[in-house]
Amino acid sequence: MTQHNLLQMFFYFIIIILLVRPLGWYIYRVYEGKSCGLNNIFGPVEQGCYRICGIDSKQGMSWKTYLYCMLIFNMFGMLLLYLILRIQYYLPLNPESFSSIPPDLSFNTAASFVTNTNWQAYSGETSLSYLTQMLGMTVQNFLSASTGLSLFVALTRGFSRQASGTLGNYWVDMTRGTLYILLPLACILAMALSAQGVIQNLNPYQKFYALQNPIEEQTLPMGPVASQVAIEQLGSNGGGFFNVNAAHPFQNPTPLTNLLEMLAILLIPAALCYTFGMLINDRKQGWAILFIMLILLIPIAIMTVISEQQIVPNFISMDIQQTGNMEGKELRFGVFNSAFWTSLTTATSNGSVNSMLDSYTPLGVFSALWLMHLGEIAFGGVGSGMYGIIMVFIIAVFIAGLMVGRTPEYLGKKIEPFEMKMACVAILIMPLFTLLLTAIASVTTLGTSSVSNPGPHGFSQILYAFTSMGNNNGSALSGLQANTPFYNIAGGIEMLLSRYWVAIPVLAIAGSMAKKTFVPKSAGTLSTHTPLFIFFIVSVSVIIGGLSFFPSLALGPIVEHLTFWGYHGS
Amino acid sequence: MAAKISLWEKSIFKSAIVNAFRKLSVRHQIRNPVIFTVYIGSLLTSGLFIHSIFLPSEVPCYFILIISLCLWFTVIFANFAEALAEGRGKAQALALRKVRHDILAKKLSSASKKSKIKLTLSGNLHKGDIVLIEAGDFIPSDGEVIEGVASVNESAITGESAPVIRESGGDRNSVTGGTQVISDWIIVRITANPGETFIDEMISLVEGASRQKTPNELALTILLAALTLVFLFVCASSLPYTIYGASITGGKIASITVLVALFVCLAPTTIGALLSAIGIAGMDRMIQANVIALSGKAIETAGDIDILILDKTGTITLGNRQATKLIPADGVAIQTLADAAQLASLADETPEGRSIVILVKEKYGLRGRDIQEMGATFLPFTAQTRISGANLPGRQIRKGAVQAIESYIETLGGKFPESIKKDIDTIARKGGTPLVVTEGATVLGIVHLKDIVKGGIRERFAELRRMGIKTIMVTGDNQLTAAAIAAEAGVDDFLADATPEDKLKLIRRYQAEGHLVAMTGDGTNDAPALAQADVAVAMNTGTQIAKEAGNLVDLDSNPTKILEVIQIGKQLLITRGALTTFSISNDIAKYFAIIPAAFASTYPVLNTLNIMKLASPQSAILSAVIFNAFIIIFLIPLALRGVKYHAVSAEQLLRINLFIYGLGGLIIPFIGIKLIDLILVGLQWI
């Protein structure tokens, strides 16, 4: 890694850290119902929404009601999206007359967008109409991100309230999150992006003759790109307008758009740490969580960049001049901006890419897999990363609490068998489904027939697919032919379970925590923001992730890496 | 009772070995999810071994046999740890059983010594029956004295040989079945049905028969079960992964024996095996401290206590006030004051009076005199005059509280000197009680009476503070006195002018704020507060009602025992946490031993990960499995004794334990597995 790269990474994180406090503060004000500066503009809209829908915004909900509303709302969102995809051909704003999407792919896509995964087994510019992109994809990009935020806020209220039966109102949280947080940020980013050349139109695809080949007519896809890309990055959705996602010049034309989009990937997940600190009235906790996430992310990001900057051994004998592994990377961005983006996008469960991960070095693939194998904790999706790491906190605090001889407590609330059961369920789901589905896919022709490179890399492709869907990430090793009924249906189910089955224990913990009273602090209380505890949480995360996936990583990227560099193992 | 039992007591050891095999039944195994999966693994590998005898298999059949045996030993070692802990409990119970023999009781038809006596076996006595117990008789069952007073030898339960007085009414009316009346007689109303007596309860607790999982133990079991489930999936999914790999490279797939071995090594078997032994041993340590816990939860809660409420008298201070200093009035020689104070107190049998005699003897060299010989008459203290003293020929010496003496002097036409009032104020401010001594109408000076704070108590409170426990002193004294003693003893807070109702209110208030409150008590009027407190230590000398209200009974009746109880509670949790950390940290080394060995047949290149340079795949797997089984045996003493507890802040405690059990757990298996591998190779077993 060059000094220049390090400096660039340093400035990137400085900008993020500078934005954390104001945005975190703003999000806090929004969810606490305090004035946040945009009330004059959005206040009437908000109140109008409640009036039309008949929502009593003052009424709190128990965790079960909150969960029920969330599930019902998401289910309808998914059904609507499924329907749009199925009858796309008959709907307006379809200048290229794309046909309707087959059932299995529609199911997978609907599940993918409603769960904030944005795994794309379809190719955007050759299969989706403008209406589908705008009314289907972009709408879900907003709503799924807002759902993640709502779940996070509900869980946090469980910690900040005491002897209370309610966690706030789901409809209010959804409305405020979308209206006050996501919409303004997306507007700003979309305008900045279109100013830099990201397209935003409803024109038919442009036909042209290239200079090199004036005989063959070529097609240039058009569309409302900027508006979708903005929320795609901000809401850790990651579903690109075009198939190649942010590698496409219409989606990510300049170094500045690349930087803006990279900032957008981490912006809300990072700011939520500060929001959390404010909501529980202990800002140190928020900073500690941000610190933990950075410690988990930065070394892996550096490792990815270093690995990609190495020359490819196979090319040495061929006497090819190399500046690192440029296969599958855009010349506009180079190795550093591609590899760094990849780390950010896999860490945040965003999943948008600006380079082709399938062409990464084995260690690069390993790093991307590892960031997902940690679970959605550093930084994880919008909201989901926060509740992911809080689950890890509950388990870590339990072990640490025992070690200091006290019934474990987190943020002044006792951790009892019920919370333990729920936290374990929340943490178990991702590894269990990923391991199980990878196992099924690797021994059936349904799974193996989609693999483009047999051998350990083929295994990595399968593992990556189910890891990505199990983490609601959405990035892929695109060598895998994912648009088959098996991958569509198995993956669709995995995405739904990973998202909603985790939501149940998260809200259950929130409900049970809200009922408890605070345990007063004393010298016997273990603080959860000290360097020692940060070190402990990082170790616990690494050990849980490592122990769950070491064998599968060994049989995929590790074998690849050893073979790649010519080890023989004797 | 509460015999000190050596960790490796032979008889217990032997029966534990037998029981370790007996516990191999499915019914017993299913209670511990982690060990149950090892049990299934053992059965599976045994089946694979039998299969391999008759049919060719991937790995040599002797290798499967050794792995299978190692897994069986893992289960047996876990059983052994539990059996050993139970055996120690049983040994304690044996001593108690001897107390609970059938006693012939003298059952009375009514509560009078004269009523008809019917001889009944103690096993037939029920709640409400009335019995007469005379000198030499054993008390047939638990009850309360309704008539009479007797000295009772309670050494069978308390281990204390000095007899105690039991009498009707007041706070000393409870008697325990199995103890012996030494002198006099008492009539007792039985308060327990057969099989429900204090001793019965103690026996079942000590034996671990009625042991229920505590909330923390339950939560830990859930966590361990979850980890086990993940590892089950990790190992089971490895088989299809290698099938895929082998189909491409033409290598071999991982053998089931090896994957079962991998699973057993990864599952948190160390803590799983020792979990119940830790719980039983905690109860056992409590008994060794002569405290009976009426539930396992009470011990655990003791570790969480953050408020400790203590009575002043008898706990923080010695029972009574003592004279500590004489202050003469202006113009009076100290010897004159000492002489007068002694004369006024020689016949005074109150503790204060006696302490004055002792003070003048030790400090001013005045020996006791025979007051009768001097022709003196003693005036005892009465509530009306609030003065006591002695009349000698020509001398009238009085001592008493300031106001009482003031009015006494006024009636004699004297005047209370202003100069002495300053000293009186000083004493009162320091929490002492001034006692004024006069001869006639002349004030000679004051005796400073003081509560004596027990030696070493200040240090204990400081220790509690470091542990994050706030101490609160409760006393009936006035604000000023209470404040002074609180400062001297180093308690964090105090409640003065307190009635039993105030105590109850205080506990409720703290609980409403989320605190966990502990207290000690012995009297019947303590019972409501004891019942309200989260951890309530009742004194064995206390009333039956107090004992029933508490959840711990201290057989030594030592109010500061609660500190030990808290430490044992904390130790219990720390031991569980430390061994869990150790168990999980161990997995890293085990991965590095087994993964290359298990998968190298599919991808030989993975041998690169064999960073310990273990001799062969088979020796690597064997070493890991052997280490995994034997570490249980090595950790049994730690599980039974408990991890050492340091009274330091939570932060420091975490640092220490993470260093020892986290880092230690990371490094030790690397060394252990490598050593076992070297031995296996050296012995040419592999």
Say yes or no for a CB contact (<8 Å) between B608 and A448.
Answer: no
Digit-by-digit pLDDT tens for chain A (570 residues) are: 789 999 999 999 999 999 999 999 999 999 999 988 888 999 999 999 999 999 999 999 999 999 999 999 999 999 999 999 999 999 999 998 999 999 999 999 999 999 999 999 999 899 999 999 999 999 999 999 999 999 999 999 999 998 888 999 999 999 999 999 999 999 999 999 999 999 999 999 999 898 888 888 899 999 999 999 999 999 999 988 999 999 999 999 999 999 999 999 999 999 999 999 999 999 999 999 999 999 999 999 999 999 999 888 888 778 877 788 998 999 989 999 999 999 999 999 999 999 999 999 999 999 999 999 999 998 999 999 999 999 999 999 999 999 998 888 899 898 989 999 999 999 999 999 999 999 999 999 999 999 988 889 999 999 999 999 999 999 999 889 999 999 999 999 999 999 999 999 999 999 999 999 888 887 778 889 999 999 999 999 999 999 999 999 999 999 999 998 887 665
Distance from CA of A356 to the nearest CA of B (A): 24
**What are the chain A neighbours of B304 within 8 Å (beta carbons)?**
406-407
Chain centre to alpha carbon of residue A411: 26
Q: Which residues of A touch B591 (CB under 8 A)?
A: 547, 550
The amino acid sitting at A516 is: K
pLDDT at B319: 63
pLDDT for A52 equals 94
- In a domain? residue A330: no
Residue B529 in 3-state DSSP?
helix
- H helix or E strand, kind and range, residue B420: helix B419-429
CB-CB under 8 Å, A443 with B243: yes
Q: Is the dihedral of CA A470, A476, A480, A481 positive or negative?
A: positive
A431 closest CA partner among B228, B589, B588: B228
**Mutation to test the A interface, candidates B232, B594, B654, most A Cβ within 10 Å:** B654
Cα B78-B233-A155 angle, rounded to 5 deg: 95
Residues in chain A: 570
Q: How far apart are CA A66 and CA A57, in angstroms?
A: 13
Shortest CA gap A332–chain B (Å): 37
Specify the amino acid at residue A493.
I
Contact B577 A403 (CB under 8 A): yes
Nearest CB partner across the interface for A523, out of B230, B231, B466: B466
User: Which positions in chain B touch A552 (Cβ < 8 Å)?
Assistant: 234, 237-238, 241
| Confidence at residue B6, expressed as pLDDT on a 0 to 100 scale | 65
Can you say whether residue B537 is alpha, beta or left, with left for phi > 0 and alpha for psi between -120 and 50 degrees?
Answer: beta
Contact list, A440 vs chain B (CB under 8 Å):
240
- Do B175 and B198 contact (CB within 8 A), yes or no? no
Residues of A in contact with B650 (CB under 8 A): 404, 406, 523-527
**Complete DSSP assignment for A55-72:** --TT----HHHHHHHHHH
8 Å CB contact of B604 and A402: no
pLDDT of residue A291: 96
| B contacts of A569 (beta carbons < 8 Å) | 596, 600, 603-608
**Which residue in A397, A403, A537, A539 has the most chain B C-beta atoms within 10 A of its own C-beta, making it the best mutation to test that interface?**
A403
Per-residue pLDDT, B421: 83
B200 catalytically annotated:
no
Phi, psi of B320 (to 5 degrees): -130, 165
Determine whether the interchain pair A406/B570 forms a contact, defined as Cβ–Cβ distance below 8 Å.
Answer: yes
Q: What is the dihedral of CA A272, A275, A276, A281, to 10 degrees?
A: 170
In a domain, A401, yes or no: yes
Q: Is residue A443 situated within a structural domain?
A: yes
Answer yes or no: is A417 within a domain. Answer: yes
Residue of B nearest to A546 (CA): B588
The amino acid that residue B474 corresponds to is V
Q: Give residue B1's pLDDT.
A: 44
Tell me the pTM.
0.87
Q: Flag whether A317 is in a domain.
A: no
The residue among A78, A141, A74, A117 whose CA lies nearest residue A472 is A117
Compute the nearest-CA separation of B469 from chain A (Å).
7
* Residue numbers of chain B with a pLDDT score lower than 50: 1-2
Look at chain A and report how many structural domains it folds into. Answer: 1
Q: Which residue of A has its CA nearest to B590?
A: A547
Beta strand ranges found along B242-386 (DSSP E): 291-293, 307-311, 317-328, 377-379
- Considering B311, B348, B526, B587, which one is annotated as catalytic? B311
Residue in chain B closest to A531 (alpha carbons) equals: B651
Dihedral (Cα; A125, A127, A128, A129), 10-degree rounding: 90
Contacts of A286 (CB under 8 A, 6+ apart): A24, A273, A274, A275, A276, A277, A278, A280
Whether A442 and B609 lie within 8 Å, measured CB to CB:
no
Q: Among B468, B576, B591, whose Cβ lies nearest the Cβ of A524?
A: B468
| Shortest CA gap A497–chain B (Å) | 17
Q: How far is B243 from chain A (nearest CA, A)?
A: 7
DSSP code of A87? T
Please compute Rg for chain B using Cα positions: 35
Q: Write the residue in B225, B237, B266 that is nearest to A435 by C-beta.
A: B237
Distances (CA, A) of B523 to B171, B497, B550, B564, B575: 5, 18, 11, 22, 35
Tokens of A131: 């209406």
Q: Do B599 and A527 touch (CB under 8 A)?
A: no
pLDDT value at residue B554 = 84
Range of the domain at A507: 381-564
**How many beta-carbon contacts under 8 Å exist across A and B?**
225
SS3 (DSSP) at B105: strand
Minimal Cβ distance to A523: which of B467, B578, B588? B467
- Residues in chain A with CB shorter than 8 Å from the CB of B230 are 428, 431-432, 547-548
Task: Spell out which residues of chain A touch residue B461, defining contact as CB-CB under 8 Å.
Answer: none
Q: Are strands B307-311 and B470-474 parallel, antiparallel or unpaired?
A: parallel
Q: What is the pLDDT of residues B282-297, one digit of tens each?
A: 888 888 888 887 777 7
Chain B residues whose beta carbon lies within 8 Å of the beta carbon of residue A439:
236-237, 239-241
The one-letter amino acid code at B154 reads E
R_g of chain A computed on alpha carbons? 23
In a domain, A560, yes or no: yes
Q: Which residue of B has its CA nearest to A395?
A: B223
Q: Among A402, A513, A564, which would you mutate to test the B interface (most chain B Cβ atoms within 10 Å of its Cβ)?
A: A402
Q: Is B79 helix (H, G, I), strand (E, B) or coil?
A: helix
Q: How far is A188 from chain B (nearest CA, A)?
A: 44
Question: What is the nearest CA distance from B521 to chain A, expressed in angstroms?
Answer: 24
Question: Quick check: is A187 in a domain?
Answer: no
3-state secondary structure B115-175: CCEEEEEHHHCCCCCEEEECCCCECCCCEEEEEEEEEEECHHHHCCCCCEEEECCCCCCEE
Residues A241 and A235: their CA atoms lie apart, in Å, by 15
Euclidean distance between CA atoms A391 and A419, whole angstroms: 9
State whether B223 and A420 contact (CB < 8 Å).
yes
Q: Is the peptide bond before A379 cis (omega within 30 degrees of 0)?
A: yes
Nearest to A569 among B238, B245, B605 (CB): B605
Query: With contacts defined as CB-CB under 8 Å, which chain A residues touch B593?
Result: none
Residue A358 burial (CB count, 10 A) = 19
With DSSP H G I counted as helix, E B as strand and the rest as coil, what are the percentages for chain A, rounded to 5?
65, 5, 30
Question: In this structure, are residues B400 and B388 in contact, taking their beta carbons and an 8 Å threshold?
Answer: yes
DSSP code string of A290-349: HHHHHHHHHHHHHHHHHHHHSPPHHHHTTT---SS--TTB-TTTHHHHHHHHHHHHHHTT
> CB of B165 within 8 A of CB of B171?
no
Does residue A565 contact residue A313 with C-beta atoms inside 8 Å? yes
Give domain status of residue A36, yes or no. Answer: no
Compute CA A408 distance to the chain's CA centroid, rounded to the nearest angstrom: 30
Percentage of chain B with pLDDT > 90?
Answer: 25
